[in-house]
Amino acid sequence: MTAVRRYGITLPGAPGSHGPPTVIVVYLTSDLTADGRPVYADDSGAFRVQITDEDVAQPLTDTVSPSGGRGQEQCLHAEALPPPGGADGAGLSQR
């Protein structure tokens, strides 16, 4: 099975603020976790996650949360996204 090339990760709003969630797009990298799972990262490379078989994103210990959660997020919803430019990947040259 081919690995999904990008996911949308839903980050909760700041605790106690009732702020809306934020969706961050992460892309497949060439890195692997210690147990062999692919590593996904945002555009900056600072937010890094592994995706479980149940579509749960688990932030890696060396990651910086874009939501300011300071590593509090342990189980985040991950949604597989189609390739940029459509199913055939044509149109956009992003990753």
Q: What is the pLDDT along the chain (95 residues), one digit of tens a residue?
A: 567 899 999 988 777 778 888 899 999 999 999 999 999 999 999 899 999 989 999 999 766 666 555 445 578 999 999 987 765 444 444 45
Does residue 10 sit within a domain?
Answer: yes
**Any idea how long the chain is?**
95
The answer to whether 73 and 11 are in contact (CB under 8 A) is yes
Domain that holds residue 32: 6-80
Confidence at residue 91, expressed as pLDDT on a 0 to 100 scale: 41
- The number of domains in the chain is 1
| C-alpha torsion 70→33→48→21, nearest 10 | -70
pTM higher than 0.85: no
Does residue 86 sit within a domain?
Answer: no
Does residue 94 sit within a domain?
Answer: no
Confidence at residue 29, expressed as pLDDT on a 0 to 100 scale: 96
Does residue 73 sit within a domain?
Answer: yes
